[in-house]
Amino acid sequence: MKISNINNVYKYNQQVDYSNYRQLLPVNQQLSFSAGSNNEIGLKIKQQLQGPLSYIAVLGIIWGSISGLTAKIEEKKANEITVVHNTSIVEQFNEEKIETAIDILNSNPELKEEYDKIMQAVNTFSEQLGEDAISLIKERVDLLGNGQVDVMDVLKILWIESNGRIYDDDGELLKSISGAYGAFQITEDTQNYLNYYFGLEGTPNELDIKNPYDNLDACIYNLRFLQDKRNDDLQNGMDLPTGNDIKTAVAWSYHDGAWADEITDYGQDYIQKYENLSRLDKYPQIINFILEG
């Protein structure tokens, strides 16, 4: 998915039917949704009109009942999109933030390349899983991350490990020559240790890495464990080959192992890929564009 100008910057779009993964749509024709309950979905369709006033028409459609209230259509200027339920504003969307993110990407080819990688992995993962990857990953990180795991780091691991693939070209669960499974390339030894470390053995939450959802959960648990391990190493006076940057140390350890004390050639390549993707972290507009749309 490449970006060449503001008219074909692509973003993932949440569908009403979550059995379908996010489709690629141009930003200036993106559909987005807000839901207050299972019976309420607010649909707004924004399409930028050409002309001196550059107005955007916003249509709010609400399914289900909201205490008998219905949405109404408002027309706003291009830099402000509002869906109104009765007389209460329930959502405001500042288009200037999207345009700022697009401008940054279009003016920086190297940054745009890293953005493309993340979104390609998300698209593939969504397609093979059959649901919206961003929403799922955010939900699982919120539930399991313990405030230690960044959603963007999970997305970086997703691209580096498999480019979002769960299954190989024959439709079989992706498996490396070293015996790592799934989109996040977790080995059975790592699975067993994480089950032990987090007290999951014999519980309904015990990890089975051949299940794509547990594979994601194992990635989140692994990032937590590796952070614990490398923080302990530093506190015990160990000099990490990555320096004192815990996030880089965690990324390196995801590949080379929790007890590694030297960086392998493959580990160095892993670090380089992680650091390249981490250029995006310096731009909150782009991070918000990826995670929130």
pLDDT at 21: 34
Residues in Cβ contact with 50 at an 8 Å cutoff, skipping those fewer than 6 apart: none
The residues pairing with 241 across neighbouring beta strands, listed in sequence order, are none
Q: Is residue 59 part of a domain?
A: yes
Residues 187 and 284 in one domain: yes
Residues 81 and 120 in one domain: no
Domain range for 53: 6-107
Residues 91 and 123 in one domain: no
> Is the pTM above the cut of 0.75?
no
pLDDT at 62: 31
Report the share of the chain in percent with pLDDT over 70: 68
Q: Which of 160, 157, 127, 161 is nearest to 145 (CA)?
A: 157
pLDDT at 45: 28
Dmax (CA) for the chain in angstroms is 65
Q: With a cut of 50, which residues of the chain have pLDDT below it? A: 1-93
pLDDT at 97: 79
Residues 78 and 119 in one domain: no
Query: Domain boundary residue among 107, 122, 146?
Result: 107
pLDDT at 166: 98
Task: Sheet with 74-77: list strands edge to edge.
Answer: 31-37, 40-48, 55-62, 74-77
Tokens linked to 67:
């205490």
pLDDT at 263: 97
Task: Report the SS3 class of residue 243.
Answer: coil
Residues 159 and 287 in one domain: yes
pLDDT at 95: 73
pLDDT at 190: 98
Q: Is residue 1 part of a domain?
A: no
Residues in Cβ contact with 179 at an 8 Å cutoff, skipping those fewer than 6 apart: 187, 188
Residues 99 and 138 in one domain: no
